[in-house]
Amino acid sequence: MTASVAVDELRTVVAALHAELVRYGLVAWTAGNISGRVPGEDLFVIKPSGISYDDLTPGSVVVCDLDGNLVEGDLAPSSDTAAHAYVYRARPDVGGVVHTHSPYATAWAARNEAIPCVLTAMADEFGGEIPVGPFALIGDDSIGRGIVETLAGSRSPAVLMRNHGVFTIGKDPRAAVKAAVMCEDVARTVHLARTAGDPLPIDPEHIDSLYRRYQTVYGQR
C-alpha cells in the first residue's frame, strides 16, 4: 500500500470515528478530536481546528508530521496537535489518540481525582485506576508530556488531565475511541455509586486476573 493510499484510508476512518464521540455524548459543539498514526510513516491525521462534526469529511481531515507541522490539507490542525504529536514521538506503540471533555470524566479531572478501580469493567479495560495528569496549558507539547509521564508504567489507556478533560490512547484510532467511551461510562457509574456510599475496591490480584482475561481471551480471536 502506498503512503497516499494509507493516508486516504486513515482519513476516512478518523472522520467516521468522530461520529462516535457525538453518539456517546463525549463532546459538545466543535470540542474534541481524534488522530491516527499513518502506518509505516512519520505522519498522523487529525481533525482540523474548530470544524463542526456535521461538516467533517475525510477530505477535511489534515495530515501532520510527528513534530506537529501541517503537511497536507487546507485547514489549520487541531489546537491539540502538539500534544498528539508528542505522544506519537514518545510512544511508538500508540496508533490513535482521542481527546474529549466528556462530562463525568472531566468532573473527576476538575477535582484532580483519579477514578478508583471498583468495577470489573474498569479492571478489564484499564487494568486499574484511571489516573490524573498535571495541569497544562493548550498550544504546545506540555499536555503531551503530561499524558506520557502519567501513563508511564500504567496499564490505563486513559488519563484525566487536571482541569481539562480526557485523553485516551490505543493501538489504532478505534481502540482509543473505545477507551474514551468506556472512560466516560465508568466515570459516571463510580460517581453514582459514591452518592450512596463508598464503593468497594477490587483486590489487586482480581484486577490482574480480570485484565489478563479481557485482554487475551474476551471476544473473537
Domain segments of the chain as ranges = 3-216
Architecture of the domain made up of 3-216: 3-Layer(aba) Sandwich (3.40)
Active site residue 203: no
Say whether pTM exceeds 0.85.
yes
Whether 1 has a pLDDT exceeding 90, the answer reads no
Residue 221 pLDDT level (bands cut at 50, 70, 90): confident
Q: What is the pLDDT of residue 54?
A: 96
Whether 18 has a pLDDT exceeding 90, the answer reads yes
Q: What is the pLDDT of residue 16?
A: 98
Structure confidence by residue, pLDDT tens digits, 138-154? 999 999 999 999 999 99
Q: What is the pLDDT of residue 202?
A: 98
Active site residue 88: no
What integer is the mean pLDDT of 27-40? 97
All 3 cell numbers of residue 46? 487529525
Structure confidence by residue, pLDDT tens digits, 151-207? 999 999 999 999 999 999 999 999 999 999 999 999 999 999 999 999 999 999 999
Q: What is the pLDDT of residue 2?
A: 84
Q: Choosing from 80, 86, 104, 124, which is the catalytic residue? A: 124
Structure confidence by residue, pLDDT tens digits, 78-136? 999 999 999 999 999 999 999 999 999 999 999 999 999 999 999 999 999 999 999 99
What integer is the mean pLDDT of 66-83? 98
